Homo-oligomer: A and B are copies of this chain.
Amino acid sequence: MRRRASSEPRTAITHSTTVRVRFDECDPLGIVWHGNYIRYFEDGREAFGREHGISYLSQQEQGYASPIVRMECDHQLPLKYGDVATINVWFCDSPAAKMIFEYEVMDPQGKVACTGRSVQVFVFTGGDLALTAPEKFLEWKRKMGLLNG
């Protein structure tokens, strides 16, 4: 993955989870179909959310959603049926009203199969874009040491 400008640096807030590659996630070439890595990223991001207290579910309860507005994915090595892959997720800090994550999917030998990056914005339940981050998210950032005050 192309390295980002320093305005949205990867933080030390991270989480790892594993996923077992399903038979139906592999294509006629015998490898994981490229679009399925988006699922693995989501598996990683949700596990991160459960670990660090910032999950989809809790957000919907608080009157907003956080749709993904940009996704990037770089494929380096294929995963195969039955592989148990490790998904590493990092929270990237941004001054904007955004949530940014970076991803790394490792094959069973510990080699990088795929990296990625997602950008989420905040929208109110009605669908309008939130121009400032929700208070709960700011609280979370304070708790994680990413914001003062």
For the complex, what is the distance from the CA of A65 to the CA of B74, rounded to whole Å? Answer: 17
What is the size, in residues, of chain A's interface with B at 8 Å between Cβ atoms? 33
- Whether A35 sits at the interface, judged by CB under 8 Å, is yes
- Whether A108 sits at the interface, judged by CB under 8 Å, is no
Question: Is A70 touching B75 in the complex (CB atoms < 8 A)?
Answer: yes
Question: Is B75 touching A72 in the complex (CB atoms < 8 A)?
Answer: no
- Whether A23 sits at the interface, judged by CB under 8 Å, is yes
Question: Is B70 touching A74 in the complex (CB atoms < 8 A)?
Answer: yes
A131 CB to nearest B CB, Å: 17
- Whether A43 sits at the interface, judged by CB under 8 Å, is yes
Interface of A (DSSP majority class): mixed
Picked from B24, B27, B67, B75, the residue with its CB within 8 Å of the CB of A75 is: B67
Q: When A69-B74, A69-B75, A72-B72 are in contact, do A33 and B23 touch as well, CB less than 8 Å?
A: yes
- Chain B: which residue is nearest A68 at the CB level? B34
- Whether A63 sits at the interface, judged by CB under 8 Å, is no
- Report which residue of A71, A81, A82 has the largest number of chain B beta carbons within 10 angstroms of its beta carbon: A71
Question: Is A42 touching B24 in the complex (CB atoms < 8 A)?
Answer: yes
Q: List 27 A-B contacts (CB under 8 A).
A: A22-B39, A22-B43, A23-B28, A23-B42, A24-B27, A27-B27, A27-B28, A28-B29, A29-B67, A34-B71, A35-B35, A35-B38, A35-B39, A35-B71, A56-B81, A67-B75, A68-B75, A69-B74, A69-B75, A69-B76, A70-B72, A70-B74, A70-B75, A71-B71, A71-B72, A71-B75, A72-B72
